[in-house]
Chain A
C-alpha cells in the first residue's frame, strides 16, 4: 500500500514555468523548463506534457541536466502542438514522467540513424555516449535543409577523429539527396558496427531494422504511438503484445521481430482500430 501510494503520487502532474523557447526550424521549437523528476531521465525516456485546457501529449526528452533543466523539441503538427508553439517564457505547462525505458548505453562502434524530431532522443543519447564510443557515425535526415535539426550540436559532438556526421535531405538542399536510409547500406557493407540506435518516422526505422537484420547488427529503436495513460493501463499504445509506454518506447531488434506485422506498417487510431501508418 505504501509502495503503491508512493509510485502513483510520485508521478503526479505538476506545473512548471517555461524558461526558454528557441526556434530550431520553421516547424520545430525547443522548450525548456525546470522539473526535478524529468531531469533524472535517461536518453529514450519520454514525458507527458500538459497544455492546460487543451491537451496532453507525449514528448521525447531532448536533454535533462543535473540542475533540473529539461528540454523538449516540439514540431507543430496539430491543434495541441500548435497551441504549445504559441506559449512563451513564463507561461505554465504541466509535466508527468519520465516514463518508459531507455536506450542501453553501449560503447564500441555505434551507428545512429535519426529522422525529423526523432533526432531529439538520439542526440540526447549521443551526448551521453560520445565519450565512450570507439567509433560513432550519426546519420540524420529531413525533408529540407531548414528542417535538419540540431546540426550545430551534432557537429560539436561529431567533430572528433572517430566520428562522422552524414546528413540527408529529401530535396537535396543539403548533404545526400534522399532519405536517411540511403547511405546505410554502403556504410553497413563497409564497416562493422556493434549497435544501431534509431528514432524517426516508423517506415524509416523499419528500413533500418531490415538492414540491421541483413547485416547482423544489434539495434534499438524508439517507437511512438497514441498515448493516453502513459502508465501501461489503457492499452492505447499497444503494438503486438507490447505497451509502448511501459515496455518501450525503446525496443530491441528481437522484440521488434515479434511485431513485424505491425512495425512500420500499422498503428492504432483513437478508437483502437489498426490503421496503416
Chain B
C-alpha cells in the first residue's frame, strides 16, 4: 500500500498510485484545521534517502472529505492518515474521515518535525494510549497506529497501543534527521530537522518490525525504505503482514507497486510457499 505523505492530497494523484498497483492507499496526514506547512527547503536529497520537513501541509478534514469521497471510487481500501494536537482532535478528525467513507484511519503519532503532535504523542505510552482509546471510542473502523523509531523502548510503546485497542501497527515513520551545508555552514532544511526516509532507514525499520512481532499479536504493516521485492520480503520475514512504499516512487514511479508484488509472487513460487502467510514472521523460527 501507499505510505502516507506521498502524493496523498489529491484524488487524481492517488488514482495514479492505484493504477501503479497499490493494494490500498494511505492519504497524507490530515488535521482539524488547514495547515500551510514549512517554507522551503522542505526536502534534502542525501546519498541513501531523503530528509523532509514538510510540516504537515493539508487543507483540513472538512475540505479533505471531497478527496476521500472521490478516492473511494478507485476500488481499493482508503486509509486516512490523521494527526491532531490532542486526543480530542484525533477523535474528531478520525470520525469525520470515517463518516466520509474511510475504510480505516492511520494515526500519525510519529511525525518527527511538528511540535505537540506526531512523535511527541507516539513517544509517550500514556498519551498514545489515550489517543488510541479516544479514536476507538468515536468510530467503528480499524485504527492503525504509525510508530516512530525515535524511542528508547519500542516494546513499551506497542504494548500500550495494543492494549488501547490498536487494530494494526505501522512501523516505521521517518527517522529524525538533519543536514548541514558545509560551504554556508547552515542547516539546509528551513525547519532545521526533518525525517529521513528511503533505503537508509530500512535496517532500522526491519529491526522495529522484528521486535514488535516478538512482543504483541497485533498485525504489523512494514514501512521504511522498501524499493524492491526483496526489501518487501525482508519485512514479511520480520513479521509484517503488509508493507507500505513511499520514497521509492521518486525513482521508480507509481508502478513500483506492481514490480514489488510480482517479485513477491515469483519468490513465493521459487521457494514453494503456498501463500504469503507462510513467510510472515518466518525469520523468528530460526
Contacts and interface: CB of A to CB of B under 8 A. Distances in A.
A228 B43 contact: yes
A235 B188 contact: no
Given A8-B49, A15-B181, A270-B57, A229 B43 contact: yes
B45 A13 contact: yes
Given A271-B34, A271-B58, A231 B183 contact: no
A270 B57 CA distance: 7
A231 to B, nearest CB: 5
Contacts of B60: 271
Interface string B1-14: 00001111110110
A15 B190 CA distance: 16
B139 to A, nearest CB: 24
| Interface SS of chain B | loop
A271 to B, nearest CB: 4
Contacts of A232: 7, 249-250, 253
A173 interface: no
Given A8-B198, A15-B184, A272-B58, A56 B249 contact: no
Interface in A1-60: 1, 3-5, 7-9, 11-13, 15, 48, 50, 52-53, 55-57
Interface centre among B7, B8, B63, B248 (most CB of A within 10 A): B7
Interface stretch (A126-134, A183-191, A202-210, A237-245): A237-245
| Interface SS of chain A | loop
Given A3-B251, A50-B188, 11 more contacts: A8-B49, A9-B45, A12-B47, A56-B40, A228-B37, A233-B6, A235-B9, A235-B28, A241-B16, A269-B36, A272-B10
Interface of B: 5-10, 12-13, 15-16, 28, 34-37, 39-50, 52, 54, 57-60, 63, 181, 183-184, 186, 188, 190, 198-199, 227-228, 246-251, 253
19 contacts: A1-B228, A4-B199, A4-B227, A5-B47, A7-B251, A15-B181, A50-B188, A53-B186, A55-B41, A56-B42, A228-B40, A228-B43, A229-B50, A240-B12, A241-B12, A241-B13, A271-B34, A271-B59, A273-B59
Interface of A: 1, 3-5, 7-9, 11-13, 15, 48, 50, 52-53, 55-57, 92, 94, 96, 227-236, 238, 240-241, 243, 268-273
The 9 closest A-B pairs by CB, nearest first: A56-B40, A270-B36, A272-B9, A15-B183, A273-B59, A241-B12, A235-B7, A56-B41, A271-B34
